[in-house]
Amino acid sequence: MKRSARIRLGITLIILLLTGAALACQAVTPFTPQFDFTIEFGQPDTTPTATPTPTQPQAEEFPPGHPTIEAREPVTIPSGESSELFAPFWEAWDIVHEQYVDQPVDDEALMNGAIQGMLGAFEEANPTTYEALPVPGGEDTGTPPEIEELFVPFWEAWAFAHHPDDQALMRGAISGMLDALGDQHSSYMDPDEFIQANIPLDGTYEGIGAWVDPNREYLTIISPMPDSPAEEAGLLPDDEVIAVDGDDMTGVDGNLVIRRILGPAGTKVVLTIRRAGVQDPFDVEIIRAEITIPSIEYHMMENDIAYVKLFNFGEDSHQDLRNALDELLEQEPVGLIFDLRNNGGGYLETAIDVVSEFIGEGVVMYEVYGDGHRDTYTANGDGLATEIPLVVLVNEGTASASEIVCGAIQDYDRAPLVGATTFGKGSVQNWVALSNNQGAVRITIARWLTPNEQQIHEVGLEPDYPLAVVSQAAIDEGFDIESFGLPMDQIVILDEEDILQGRDPQLDKAVEVLLDLIRER
């Protein structure tokens, strides 16, 4: 008994057609037909001895007068050839099912995504010839027996879209499958991109001086480093780099975009920025410099308040913080402001050590995996500042490891958060290299939860005392302050004079809140 099914594939083919006159002068004329077509297929209950040959598209499927696409006779696929070609695809399929954080995954959605990715690769290749193939059977494709029927539409589409670079189709299928997860942090990197992304950076860092998130649709600024070219150029948290020196970065892995931005001190790079609240993208010209990555800044303020700003969570950051606390606590401050604004994160282990300076005991974070198990992280129990009145400063650039610290401090009511909603980066990615140098899959394997099991990822942490800050210059350039989602009494607009004088309304608010806490004791 035969089971039948239908699949409608909406495809945009970009085809270069040679007319007689154009052929004589070696010119090509672009034509972009858009059409829907229906493929009928039959799947016998037993493995067929021969696979049916799909019909070549006929001229009447195209607009009247459209030249027929050049086609060659269908070829026979040697047994096992498709299986070998698509081995990396099935390897990636297994990685998704074994490691992805949100299980179970939707196999049909993954298959449809693989079709779209494959057809996207076909369109990008822009083939000038068309070669339909017989639809391969399950034993020739490596398709697991339990999903052979599900994948019949995929192999129908592959037989239709076949062109000389089958590896490009296979890689497109991997990319489309991962896109179908709907997770901006899970993706595929082809062999060349993977090699480039793993070239070690040399000992000196010369660039623009910004912490970035390479795992989004476009490379995204988490925060500029203090006194860096990025800060001087006016880059802001959540700015997206959509082009570098005029080259579109759509679809380019963020790690490769970083390498385009890095360069010798004194040289120029032009970034095209897409900014929330600003209608049109705009160019920012930045002169690269040698960047010294700061670790910590601390001092005593008026009213006997200690102030510590941690810039990142590097290997030495915890010891730097401990040294700063030792020195400050000797001066018997009445309270402490811990500034994590524009801290883009760093090592998880460092985050646990840092939060342990302020929380005496208990769970500080959960790391939850796709199979349901979780790793629990607890405070070390040897903190120096577990009793002193405390306020934590946060903003849109407070991300990742910083959010682990802030989430635990907030959940335990150890201290209020003052400032703006944090960045919302609370997931863990794993790079898995595919066999035979076929690139790598980046897959989200876990998410971080606060002690009260709050989700950080793509949500961020809401401050207890919200206060957003924006410059008048940004508003003049088109920034919409309504994008903050706050009432006007929780938004401070800084003019040029405020900026020159170093006015910091969020720090002023933190001092106010801290003094209130001290009076209430």
Reported as a single tens digit per residue, the pLDDT across 462-483 is 999 999 999 888 888 788 888 8
Do 283 and 143 reside in the same domain of the chain? Answer: no
CB 389 within 8 A of CB 305: no
Q: Of 134, 157, 182, at which residue does a domain stop?
A: 182
Determine which helix (DSSP H) or strand (DSSP E) holds 355, and give its type and residue range. Answer: helix 348-355
Active site residues: 400, 411, 425
Question: How far apart, in whole angstroms, are the C-alpha atoms of residue 82 and residue 90?
Answer: 11
CB 461 within 8 A of CB 419: no
389 occurs within a structural domain: yes
89 occurs within a structural domain: yes
Please provide residue 213's backbone torsions phi and psi, each rounded to the nearest 5 degrees.
Answer: -110, 110
Q: Of 182, 207, 223, at which residue does a domain stop?
A: 182
For residue 417, the tally of other CB atoms under 10 A from its CB is: 25
Q: How confident is the model at residue 62 (pLDDT cuts 50, 70, 90)?
A: very low
Longest dimension (CA), the chain: 90
Do 204 and 171 reside in the same domain of the chain? Answer: no
Do 323 and 449 reside in the same domain of the chain? Answer: yes
Q: Which contacts qualify for 413-416: CB closer than 8 Å, 24 or more apart?
A: 414/358, 414/359, 414/390, 415/338, 415/358, 415/389, 415/390, 415/391, 416/391, 416/392, 416/463, 416/464, 416/465, 416/513, 416/517
Do 245 and 330 reside in the same domain of the chain? Answer: no
312 occurs within a structural domain: yes
Highest average pLDDT, of 19-33, 255-269, 404-418, comes from: 404-418
Do 283 and 320 reside in the same domain of the chain? Answer: no
What mean pLDDT is predicted for residues 68-82?
39
Q: How confident is the model at residue 231 (pLDDT cuts 50, 70, 90)?
A: very high
Number of domain units in the chain: 3
510 occurs within a structural domain: no
pLDDT at 411: 98
494 occurs within a structural domain: no
CATH number where 233 lies: 2.30.42.10
Do 281 and 307 reside in the same domain of the chain? Answer: no
Is pLDDT at 164 greater than 90 in this prediction? no
Do 284 and 338 reside in the same domain of the chain? Answer: no
Do 157 and 236 reside in the same domain of the chain? Answer: no
CATH number where 454 lies: 3.90.226.10
Do 271 and 311 reside in the same domain of the chain? Answer: no
Torsion, Cα of 116, 120, 122, 124 (10° steps):
180
Do 416 and 277 reside in the same domain of the chain? Answer: no
pLDDT at 503: 93
Q: Of 231, 265, 290, at which residue does a domain stop?
A: 290
pLDDT at 139: 61
Number of residues that this document lists for the chain: 521
User: Scanning the structure block, which residue is given the tokens 């635990």?
Assistant: 408
Do 136 and 282 reside in the same domain of the chain? Answer: no
Is pLDDT at 315 greater than 70 in this prediction? yes
Determine which helix (DSSP H) or strand (DSSP E) holds 339, and give its type and residue range. Answer: strand 335-339
Give the C-alpha distances (Å, rounded to integers) separating 414 from 38, 186, 339, 408: 62, 35, 15, 8
421 occurs within a structural domain: yes
Selection from 464, 335, 330 nearest residue 390 by Cα: 335
* Secondary structure of 35-65 in HEC code, one letter for each residue: EEEEEEEEEECCCCCCCCCCCCCCHHHCCCC
Q: What percent of the chain has pLDDT over 70?
A: 79
123 occurs within a structural domain: yes
Q: How confident is the model at residue 37 (pLDDT cuts 50, 70, 90)?
A: very low
Say if residue 366 is exposed, middle or buried (CB neighbours under 10 Å; 0-12, 13-18, 19+). Answer: middle
455 occurs within a structural domain: yes
Q: How confident is the model at residue 500 (pLDDT cuts 50, 70, 90)?
A: confident
Q: Which domain covers residue 207, as residue numbers? A: 197-290
Q: Write out the two tokens for 161.
A: 């879209």
Q: Write out the two tokens for 269.
A: 């790079």
84 residue type, one letter: E
Do 91 and 203 reside in the same domain of the chain? Answer: no
